Amino acid sequence: MTEAAAADTGITDAALTPVDVHLAAILDAIRPLAPAALPLAEAGGCVLAEDITARVALPSFDNSAMDGYAVRAADVASATERAPVTLPVTGEVTAGDPGAYALVPGTALRITTGAQLPSGADAVVPVEWTDGGAARVAIRQAPREGNAIRLAGGDAREGETLLERGTRLRPMQIAVAAAAGRDRVLVRPRPRVVVLSTGNELAEPGTPLVPGRIWDSNSYMIAAAAREAGCAACRHAIVPDDPAGVLPALEDQLTRADLLVTTGGVSMGGEHDVVKAALRRLGTVTFRKVAMQPGMPQGFGTVGEDRTPLFTLPGNPVSAYVSFQLFVRPAIGALQGDRALRLPVVRAALTAGVRSPAGRRSFLRGVLGNGTGADGRRRVTPLSGQGSHQIAALGRADALIVVPERAAQLSEGDEVDVLVLPA
- Looking at residue 168, the DSSP 8-state letter turns out to be B
Least gap, CB of 362 to its own copies (angstroms):
18
Considering the complex, state which of residue 296 and residue 335 has its C-beta at the smaller distance from its own copies. Answer: 296
Rule CB under 8 A: which of 131-190 touch its own copies? 132, 150, 154-156, 162-163, 169-184
Considering the complex, state which of residue 45 and residue 189 has its C-beta at the smaller distance from its own copies. Answer: 45
Least gap, CB of 284 to its own copies (angstroms):
26
User: Does the footprint of its own copies cover residue 3 (CB under 8 A)?
Assistant: no
Rounded Cα distance between 294 and 124, Å, is 65
Rule CB under 8 A: which of 281-320 touch its own copies? 315, 317
**Span from 27-35, 211-219, 245-253, 328-336 in contact with its own copies (CB under 8 A):** 211-219
Rule CB under 8 A: which of 5-34 touch its own copies? none
Least gap, CB of 417 to its own copies (angstroms):
11
Cα dist from 82 to 108, 131, 138, 139, 421, whole Å: 20, 13, 11, 10, 61
Rule CB under 8 A: which of 227-256 touch its own copies? 227-228, 236, 241
Rounded Cα distance between 118 and 110, Å, is 10
Considering the complex, state which of residue 389 and residue 406 has its C-beta at the smaller distance from its own copies. Answer: 389
Q: How many residues bind its own copies (CB under 8 A)?
A: 105
Considering the complex, state which of residue 25 and residue 90 has its C-beta at the smaller distance from its own copies. Answer: 90
What is the torsional sign of CA 117, 121, 124, 127?
A: negative
Considering the complex, state which of residue 178 and residue 277 has its C-beta at the smaller distance from its own copies. Answer: 178
5, 74, 345, 408: which one contacts its own copies (CB under 8 A)? 345
* HSE (side-chain half, CA atoms, 13 Å) at 131: 17
Considering the complex, state which of residue 143 and residue 230 has its C-beta at the smaller distance from its own copies. Answer: 230
Least gap, CB of 101 to its own copies (angstroms):
10
Rule CB under 8 A: which of 43-72 touch its own copies? 44-45, 56, 58-61, 63, 65, 67
Residue 110 is which amino acid? R
Rule CB under 8 A: which of 256-285 touch its own copies? 268-271
Cα dist from 214 to 206, 239, 383, whole Å: 11, 14, 25
Phi, then psi, of 216 in degrees rounded to 5: -70, 125
Considering the complex, state which of residue 283 and residue 382 has its C-beta at the smaller distance from its own copies. Answer: 382
**Span from 1-9, 30-38, 209-217, 286-294 in contact with its own copies (CB under 8 A):** 209-217
Residue among 331, 287, 289 nearest 312 (CA): 287
Using CB atoms within 10 A of its CB, is residue 2 exposed (0-12), middle (13-18) or buried (19+)? exposed
Residue among 403, 365, 407 nearest 386 (CA): 365
127, 186, 247, 352: which one contacts its own copies (CB under 8 A)? 127
Rounded Cα distance between 305 and 316, Å, is 31
Using CB atoms within 10 A of its CB, is residue 103 exposed (0-12), middle (13-18) or buried (19+)? buried
Rounded Cα distance between 174 and 163, Å, is 10
Phi, then psi, of 125 in degrees rounded to 5: -95, 115
Q: How many residues does the chain have?
A: 423
Phi, then psi, of 175 in degrees rounded to 5: -60, -40
Report whether 317 contacts 391 (CB < 8 A). Answer: yes
215, 277, 353, 384: which one contacts its own copies (CB under 8 A)? 215
20, 131, 201, 252: which one contacts its own copies (CB under 8 A)? 201
292-293 and 361-372 strand pairing: parallel
Considering the complex, state which of residue 303 and residue 397 has its C-beta at the smaller distance from its own copies. Answer: 397
User: Does the footprint of its own copies cover residue 41 (CB under 8 A)?
Assistant: yes
Task: With residue 402 as reference, give the H or E element that holds it.
Answer: strand 399-403
Considering the complex, state which of residue 181 and residue 353 has its C-beta at the smaller distance from its own copies. Answer: 181
User: Does the footprint of its own copies cover residue 105 (CB under 8 A)?
Assistant: no
Rule CB under 8 A: which of 359-398 touch its own copies? 370-372, 375-378, 387, 389-392, 394-395, 397
Least gap, CB of 307 to its own copies (angstroms):
27
